[in-house]
Amino acid sequence: MSETISQAESARIESAIRAAVSGSWEEFAKLTDEPFPNDASMREQFEDSSPRLQQAGGNWEMTSGIGIVPDDGTRMITVMIKAPPAVDIVLTLHSTSDRDDSTISVWTFLQQLNWDD
């Protein structure tokens, strides 16, 4: 059975991207239900990734995948935002379930070089 992203998870992904495009760290920081493990590191990731998405101006492709953690059934959601020409952004979320009341936490928002070009 293939897992799909829930409405709550999808809304959180869209909100994170909107916050990055607007450059609002304050809005982005509100999107995690659990505190960031390291605020300074997450802010650095945001400040690096946000301008890349702004430069791409909506010209990106998004793909996503979900992994189920065997120990507790929680969900690891990885979203790849391919923002040409040379950088992709990886947004990783952790979700307690696919229900609307799940706890959704932002784990990473970092750049990855695109070696395909």
116: confidence class by pLDDT, cuts 50, 70, 90: low
Residue 32 in any domain: the answer is yes
Could you tell me the two tokens for 52?
A: 């890349």
Residue 2 in any domain: the answer is no
pLDDT tens digits, one per residue of 70-115: 999 999 999 999 977 767 899 999 999 999 999 999 999 998 866 6
Number of domains within the chain: 1
Distance CA 96, CA 107 (A): 13
What is the extent of the structural domain holding 93? 7-113
Residue 44 in any domain: the answer is yes
pLDDT at 2 > cutoff 60: no
Residue 99 · residue 3 · CB < 8 Å: no
Query: According to the model, what pLDDT value does residue 113 have?
Result: 66
Q: Tell me the Ramachandran region of residue 58: left when phi exceeds 0, alpha when psi lies from -120 to 50, beta otherwise.
A: left
pLDDT tens digits, one per residue of 38-64: 999 999 999 999 998 998 888 899 999
pLDDT at 30 > cutoff 90: yes
Residue 93 in any domain: the answer is yes
